[in-house]
């Protein structure tokens, strides 16, 4: 027969033997698990949406509005209007001084009542450019500055006074404008002698004395539309007087209530005296006269630099004996020049 023996009980595990060793018994139970666990800290917490408030009609909202606080009534006082400045009328003397026609002929200037010559036609072209620039500057809002023109040259003996006087005579012939020629070459004035006018107080005297009015020094001539302001007495502080606030006041009186008046300044050479650079601050355009057989490029460039305060610089070539186009105005009008 087969021998049947009792099958040995398998040895206990390590946990069971530890349980018997420490006398814990076999009543182990799992820890109770809560029904609701705490929210993990690394997740976004959804906020509860607030309950929508009941809609309120506009009428109810108006009824619930807080009434405005009442303040004691105050009477509004409008600011007093700023009075506009009142300027006194400025008018030139009506005493007419005749221009010496022989002096005009001696200096080779335009004869107002003479025939149309090549010289007159040349300066008609120049004055058209000047008037065009005056109109553009006035439209751009330059005001009285647009009415002032400076005629200058880099060095002496380049014809700036010759061009100043001829330009003034040509402009005086315009039907819609008049011209005031100012001799601003205080050290060596020449305008009065070229026109045959008497000497007298002038521009620099008015700048140096507050009790003088510039209009009292202006000379009316027998050329319709042409007035002349002498240079006045030369001082050792010409540039300082020109740089003072008095200059703006004096120049304002020259064009006050006269929008059609063009003021031409015959200034000293830019590289020989400083008044030209000072006057450039008070004019709307400047004409730099360069002599064809004398003026060098470096001198011209230096003069333009000194006059750079003027917004509009023009060049006028004087004593040119060659015309690329071959034009001869005098021959067309029946006169050779």
For the chain, which domains are there?
A: 103-321 (3.40.50.300)
Q: Model confidence over 111-154: pLDDT tens digits?
A: 998 899 999 999 999 999 999 999 999 999 999 999 999 999 99
Section 229-254 average pLDDT? 94
* Residue from 99, 315, 133, 47 nearest 222 by CA: 99
Q: Rounded distance, CA 272 to CA 268, Å?
A: 7
Residue 84 scores a pLDDT above 80: no
Section 105-110 average pLDDT? 96
Identify the residue whose tokens are 């946990």. Answer: 15
Q: Rounded distance, CA 120 to CA 173, Å?
A: 11
Instruction: Check residue 337 and give its pLDDT.
Output: 42
Name the 3-class secondary structure at 105.
helix
Please state, in angstroms and as integers, the Cα–Cα distance from residue 92 to each residue in 145, 181, 253, 275, following that order.
20, 13, 10, 25
Alpha-helical segments (H) within 107-202? 118-139, 160-172, 191-195
Q: Model confidence over 154-207: pLDDT tens digits?
A: 999 999 999 999 999 999 999 999 999 999 999 999 999 999 999 999 999 999
Name the 3-class secondary structure at 324.
coil
Instruction: Check residue 156 and give its pLDDT.
Output: 95
DSSP state for residue 75 in the 8-state scheme: -
**Overall pTM surpassing 0.85 (yes/no):** no
Instruction: Check residue 147 and give its pLDDT.
Output: 96
Residue 36 scores a pLDDT above 80: no
Range of weakest confidence among 59-63, 278-282, 327-331: 327-331
The overall average pLDDT reported for the chain is: 84
**How far is CA 293 from its chain centroid?**
36
CA atoms within 13 A on the CB side of 220: 11
């Amino acid at each position: 027969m087969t021998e049947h023996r009792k099958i040995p009980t398998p040895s206990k595990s390590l946990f069971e033997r530890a349980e018997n060793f420490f006398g814990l018994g076999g009543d182990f139970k799992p820890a109770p698990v809560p029904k609701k666990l705490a929210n993990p800290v690394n997740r976004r917490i959804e906020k509860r949406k607030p309950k929508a408030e009941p809609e309120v009609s506009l009428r109810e909202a108006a009824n619930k509005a807080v009434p405005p606080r009442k303040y004691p009534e105050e009477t509004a006082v409008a600011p007093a209007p700023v009075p506009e400045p009142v300027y006194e009328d400025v008018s030139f003397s009506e005493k007419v001084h005749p221009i010496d026609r022989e002096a005009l002929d001696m200096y080779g200037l335009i004869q107002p009542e003479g025939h149309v010559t090549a010289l007159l036609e040349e300066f008609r072209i120049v004055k058209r450019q000047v008037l065009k620039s005056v109109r553009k500057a006035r439209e751009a809002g330059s005001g009285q500055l647009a009415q002032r023109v400076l005629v200058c040259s880099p060095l002496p003996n380049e014809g700036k006074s010759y061009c100043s006087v001829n330009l003034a005579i040509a402009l005086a012939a315009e039907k819609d404008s008049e011209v005031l020629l100012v001799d601003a070459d205080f050290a060596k004035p020449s305008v009065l002698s070229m026109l045959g006018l008497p000497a007298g107080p002038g521009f620099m005297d008015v700048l140096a004395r507050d009790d003088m009015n510039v209009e009292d020094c202006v000379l009316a001539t027998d050329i319709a539309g042409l007035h002349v302001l002498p240079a006045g007495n030369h001082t050792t502080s010409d540039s300082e007087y020109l740089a003072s606030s008095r200059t703006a006041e004096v120049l304002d009186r020259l064009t006050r209530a006269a929008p059609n008046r063009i003021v031409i300044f015959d200034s000293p050479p830019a590289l020989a005296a400083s008044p030209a650079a000072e006057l450039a601050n008070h004019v709307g355009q400047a004409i730099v006269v360069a002599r064809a057989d004398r003026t060098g490029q470096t001198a011209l460039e230096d003069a333009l630099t000194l006059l750079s305060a003027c917004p509009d610089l023009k060049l006028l070539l004087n004593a040119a004996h060659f015309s690329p186009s071959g034009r001869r105005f005098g021959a067309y009008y029946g006169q050779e020049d």
